Every structure is written in C-alpha cells, then in structure tokens.
Amino acid sequence: MRKSIAIVVIALLCVLGLTGCKSNPVKSTEFYLDFSLPADMEVLYNYQPTDFIHRPSQYTVFQLQERPDTFLLNNAFVVGTTPEEIPSSWLHKVYEWNVPKEYHPPWDEEFMWLRSYPVNLIYFEAQKQLIVIIERN
C-alpha cells in the first residue's frame, strides 16, 4: 500500500515538474494589479518560466482590437519615445527568455508604459499590442 502511494506521489511530482505551474496570463497579471486589463485581448505569445521558489515571471504579448483609451487614461500610462526610458531589466528579459523576434517590442514605434511592480506594461499604438512583463522576486 505504501509503495503504491509513493509511486503515485512520485508520478505526480514528475508531471508537475514537466508541465510546471503555468496560469492564465490575464489572471496572473491582474493578480498583482488593482485594475483589470482590457477585455478585448487575444494572447499572441506567452512565456512563463517554471519556477517553484520565486514569484513566477511572465512575458506576454496581447493583441487588442481597438485602442483602450479608458484603460490607458485611468491607469496613468506614460508616453515613451525611446527604449532608454524603459528600465534595462525589462529589455533583457526578451533575450534572457529567448522570446521570438516577432514578439520583441517594436521600439521604433511610439509607445506608452506603466510600471506597477512587479508588473510592467508597454502599449504599442501602431500594432495595438500590450506587452506584459512580470518580474520575479
């Protein structure tokens, strides 16, 4: 009996280890925010490295159908024009996590950004994309 319980526990740990503790990117982002993300978004790319010790990190690119004016205004997004305005730790995540090039931030476009630690949001108007970077602790 104990042997079969031990086998089940080991199998469960192996499955969790292989799949990791991934979650819905909208829910995992909103968990750290005191506001909601726009409703009309589609996930284009999501990367959540498996980490059982630290707060999970995340890099997600959302595609919006239209400009989220209320969302941007109500949450005090700052207009940016160069990536130098963005903390360098955000920029390194794209390379550290081997994010495919088509999901890199298009820094040659105007953007708006907001830092609400640990969540970092960057909105690109031309593409109508919202990039979310969650830093781990």
* DSSP, residue by residue, the chain: -HHHHHHHHHHHHHHHHHH-----HHHHHHTT-SSPPPSSEEEEEEE----SSSPPPEEEEEEESS--HHHHHHTTPEEESSGGGS-HHHHHHHHHTT--GGGS--TTS-EEEEEETTEEEEEETTTTEEEEEE---
pLDDT per residue as tens digits for the range 75-133: 999 998 666 767 677 777 788 888 999 999 888 888 999 988 888 899 999 999 999 99
Q: Could you tell me the pTM of the whole model?
A: 0.77
Domain parsing of the chain, residue ranges:
22-134
- Tens digit of pLDDT for each residue in 21-43? 457 899 989 998 999 999 989 99
